[in-house]
């Protein structure tokens, strides 16, 4: 056992004066040693996910699809049932480049600078697809029957409506034009059809050649499944990205298209992994990321749907997870997904929120100190592993500065009634040494306190909650002897006394201390929650914030996972259990 003593002074004798932040680490370790809750295996209710590529404010007037060269030979049409299973209706096309549009007058606009072209509503353009068609009176039970009839007419195509196939002729920009042609043709029983608010049209990209139309009210939406000409899985280009699976198109608001990639769970994870973590990272880190991504998606698809109103399970941005398909996937990322296929992080048999972020600066954080109510698996832990990756991470240590007038205006812009701010300090740290609250004082003595990530980041724009203000030294990474004013800059110049009474200088290795409660604990970098920075926070007329890490710090540190796998040889199971307290890894 070693007891710290300050250089040039008597050895510390009062246990009450000893302040060691590693108490937190010991508590976390003890918690991790408790028996894990009994769990049942988790069985997902479905094997596919609906990834919203464009919906709501990003819905599109038209959407182009293209078979990846050598990996596609046209498309089948149908719909996706309630189990997300593609149900073909027998309709198809051999075209490898198609566009799905609203059934309105749509003009083709070629892409600028080599970009993809797009159909937009209107008639101003060299190529226009009209919304009015001549409909024959006969109805057919199969696509092939209707298609055979359509071959008897110029510019004819097949339309599917509520289980019935029919033949339509031409595309005209007005009802009058369609009626004029219909009269000239003299087809008995023919009528003009302009579709409904839910009708979608499939055209050969860049032309006014209609290949197919689909309408089934609000209960079914057009499903498009690429055909594959060889072994393996089909891939389809959509707006510069390659995707597995099929696509769904719905005019949910009667206007623009909601575009959904309906894809197998494992293929979806393969389209996330290289965008949320480097595709050349250690395999075990990638496997941990795959497990987090799969569990996160299933949690929000099953337990807490975020986008149900749009008919999707997940979006493709950081609101959910970044999903871009196959472009950056490689053998390593695919291997990480394959070797964890069907695995989920569970607590009491159910998938949990497996949040992750870039780095935590030295400690992760309990969820209630960042967002919402406490959860047993989202507990903050001291993270010594990130120390290895600091030289590799650009911007790991960061700094932000504000003049008093800038800081005052930022607070006013966000609804705080304050005069010129004269003081800013961290008024409370969390047990793992992250910032819980920041207090501002104006020239009139009024205060404003911000707590948790959303409030603090909204005003200060910090990269993480692991920071100090001004010259305050009581913060992340600090070790202290006797009181918070006596910061240990390093172990140099300090001495220990062991159990035999031998005094020796501190050089390297693990140091131990006796806490105020009499416990013997290892000394590690950390902080104490009850003490904040002192002073006004002003340095040379500026409020300066110095911090480390990047992200919300709840759950898994991606760079911490890198370090554990690369420098410490830890497995993906080790990584998961380190960052998520009391969880099980279950395979379906």
pLDDT class of 164 with cuts at 50, 70, 90: very high
Angle at 276 between CA 381 and CA 260, to 5 degrees: 125
Q: Identify the pLDDT of residue 426.
A: 95
Flag the least confident range among 110-124, 132-146, 218-232, 452-466.
110-124
Average pLDDT over residues 265-283: 97
Percent of the chain scoring above 90 in pLDDT: 73
Does residue 14 surpass a pLDDT of 50?
no
Lowest-confidence range among 97-106, 432-441, 518-527, 563-572? 518-527
Q: How sure is the predictor about 137, in pLDDT bands with cuts at 50, 70 and 90?
A: very high
Rounded-to-integer distance, Cα 297 and Cα 304, Å? 10
303 backbone dihedrals φ, ψ, rounded to 5°: -95, -30
Mean pLDDT value across the chain? 85
Amino acid 395: pLDDT: 93
Each residue's pLDDT tens digit, 240-262: 999 999 999 999 888 899 999 99
For residue 232, name the pLDDT band (cuts at 50, 70, 90).
confident
Mean pLDDT value across residues 429-436: 95
pLDDT class for 24, splitting at 50, 70, 90?
very low
Percent of the chain residues topping a pLDDT of 70: 82
Mean pLDDT to the nearest integer, 39-65: 90
Alpha helix (H) ranges present in 277-370? 283-298, 331-338
CA 31 to chain centre: 29
Asked if residue 522 has pLDDT above 50, the reply is no
Q: Which residues contact 370 (CB under 8 A, 6 or more apart)?
A: 452, 453, 465, 552, 553, 554
| C-beta of residue 277 within 8 angstroms of C-beta of residue 330 | no
Rounded Cα distance between 366 and 381, Å, is: 8
Residue 327 has pLDDT above 90, yes or no: yes
| Residue 477 confidence (pLDDT) above 90 | no
What is the H or E stretch that residue 270 is in?
helix 265-270
DSSP line for 165-188: EEEEEEEESSHHHHHHHHHHHT-T
Nearest to 352 by CA among 288, 319, 315, 303: 303
Among 16-25, 91-100, 114-123, the least confident range: 16-25
Q: How does residue 6 score in pLDDT terms, banded at 50, 70 and 90?
A: very low
Sign, Cα dihedral of 21, 24, 27, 32: negative
pLDDT category of residue 180 using cuts at 50, 70 and 90: very high
C-beta separation of 374 from 366 below 8 A: yes
Determine the Cα–Cα distance for residues 456 and 144; give it in Å rounded to an integer.
63
Q: Domain ranges in the chain? A: 1-36+363-381+394-550, 40-59+263-347+555-588, 60-241+248-256
**Average pLDDT over every residue of 151-169:** 97
The C-alpha atoms of residue 25 and residue 54 are separated, in whole angstroms, by: 44
**Is 15's pLDDT higher than 60?**
no
What confidence score (pLDDT) does residue 114 get?
56
CB 312 within 8 A of CB 49: no
Residue showing tokens 């055979």: 148
Give the pLDDT confidence score for residue 413 in this predicted structure.
95
pLDDT in tens, 480-504: 444 433 444 444 455 565 555 556 6
Instruction: Report yes or no: 15 and 516 within 8 Å, Cβ to Cβ.
Output: yes
pLDDT for position 304: 85
Q: How many CB atoms within 10 Å of residue 12?
A: 17
Contact 378, 353 (CB under 8 A): yes
pLDDT at 504: 62
| pLDDT at residue 318, rounded to an integer | 86
**Would you state the pLDDT for residue 229?**
76
Rounded to whole angstroms, what are the CA distances from 3 to 487, 488, 494, 527?
17, 14, 11, 19
Residues found in the chain: 588
Higher pLDDT, 7 or 86: 86
What the block records as the tokens of 337 is 């997904």
pLDDT at 21: 34
| Tokens 């109103």 sit on residue | 309
Strands 62-67 and 97-102: antiparallel
| Burial label, 373 (beta-carbon count in 10 A; 0-12, 13-18, 19+) | exposed
CA–CA dist 499, 349 (Å, integer): 47
pLDDT for residue 332: 97
Among residues 53, 40, 47, 18, the alpha carbon closest in space to that of 317 is found at 53
Q: Is 149 helix (H, G, I), strand (E, B) or coil?
A: helix
What is the largest distance, in Å, between two alpha-carbon atoms of the chain? 113
Tokens of 497: 């006394």
pLDDT at site 41: 73
The average pLDDT across 565-581 equals: 98
Integer angstrom CA distances of residue 141 from 151, 172, 214, 325, 546: 17, 27, 15, 37, 70
What is the pTM for the complete model shown? 0.81
**Residue 19: per-residue pLDDT:** 31
Helices (H), 464-557: none
The whole-number average pLDDT for the span 436-457 is 94
């Amino acid at each position: 056992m070693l007891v710290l003593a300050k250089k040039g002074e008597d050895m510390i004798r009062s246990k009450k004066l000893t302040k060691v932040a590693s108490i937190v680490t010991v508590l976390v370790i003890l918690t991790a040693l408790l028996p894990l809750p009994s769990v049942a295996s988790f069985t997902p209710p479905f094997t596919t996910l609906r990834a919203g590529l464009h919906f709501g404010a990003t819905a599109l007037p038209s959407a182009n699809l293209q078979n990846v060269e050598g990996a596609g030979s046209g498309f089948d049409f149908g719909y996706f049932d309630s189990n997300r299973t593609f149900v073909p209706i027998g309709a198809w096309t051999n075209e490898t480049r198609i566009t799905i549009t609203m059934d309105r007058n749509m003009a083709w606009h070629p892409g600028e600078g080599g970009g993809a072209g797009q159909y937009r509503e209107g008639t101003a353009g060299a190529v226009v697809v009209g919304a009015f068609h001549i409909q024959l009176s006969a109805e057919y039970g199969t696509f092939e029957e209707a298609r055979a009839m359509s071959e008897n007419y110029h510019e004819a195509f097949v339309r599917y409506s509520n289980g019935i196939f029919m033949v339509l002729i031409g595309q005209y920009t007005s009802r009058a034009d369609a009626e004029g042609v219909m009269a000239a043709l003299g087809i008995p029983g023919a009528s003009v059809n302009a579709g409904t608010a839910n009708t979608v049209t499939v055209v050969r990209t860049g032309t006014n050649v209609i290949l197919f139309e689909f309408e089934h009210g609000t209960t079914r939406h057009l499903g498009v499944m690429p055909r594959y000409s060889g072994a393996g899985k089909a891939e389809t280009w959509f707006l510069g990205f390659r995707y597995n699976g099929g696509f769904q198109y719905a005019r949910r608001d009667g206007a623009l298209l909601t575009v959904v990639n309906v894809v197998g769970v494992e293929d979806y994870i393969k389209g996330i992994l290289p965008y949320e973590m480097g595709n050349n990272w250690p395999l075990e880190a990638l496997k941990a990321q795959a497990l987090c991504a799969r569990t996160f998606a299933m949690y929000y698809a099953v337990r807490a749907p975020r986008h149900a109103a749009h008919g999707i399970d997940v979006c493709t941005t950081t609101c959910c997870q970044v999903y871009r398909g196959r472009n950056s996937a490689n053998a390593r990322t695919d291997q990480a997904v394959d070797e964890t296929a069907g695995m989920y992080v569970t607590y009491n048999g159910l998938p949990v929120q497996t949040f992750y972020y870039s780095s935590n600066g030295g400690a992760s954080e309990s969820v209630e100190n960042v967002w919402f109510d406490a959860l047993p698996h989202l507990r903050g832990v001291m993270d010594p592993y990130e120390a290895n990756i600091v030289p590799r991470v650009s911007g790991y240590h960061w700094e932000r500065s504000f003049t008093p007038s800038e800081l005052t205006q930022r607070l006013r812009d966000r609804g705080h009634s304050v005069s010129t701010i004269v003081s800013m300090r961290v008024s409370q740290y969390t047990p793992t040494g992250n910032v819980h609250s920041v207090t501002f004082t104006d020239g009139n003595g009024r205060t404003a306190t911000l707590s948790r990530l959303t409030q603090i980041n909204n005003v200060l724009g910090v990269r993480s909650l692991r920071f100090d203000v001004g010259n305050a030294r009581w913060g992340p990474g600090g070790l202290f002897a006797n009181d918070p004013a006596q910061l240990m800059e390093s172990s140099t110049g300090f001495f220990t006394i062991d159990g035999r009474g031998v005094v020796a200088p501190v050089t390297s290795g693990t140091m131990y201390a006796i806490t105020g409660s009499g416990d013997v604990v290892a000394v590690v970098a950390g902080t104490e929650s009850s003490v904040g920075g002192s002073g006004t926070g002003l340095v040379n007329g500026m409020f300066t914030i110095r911090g480390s890490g990047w992200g919300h710090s709840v759950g898994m540190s991606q760079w911490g996972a890198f370090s554990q796998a690369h420098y410490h040889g830890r497995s993906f199971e080790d990584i998961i259990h380190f960052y998520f307290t009391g969880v099980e890894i279950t395979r379906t």
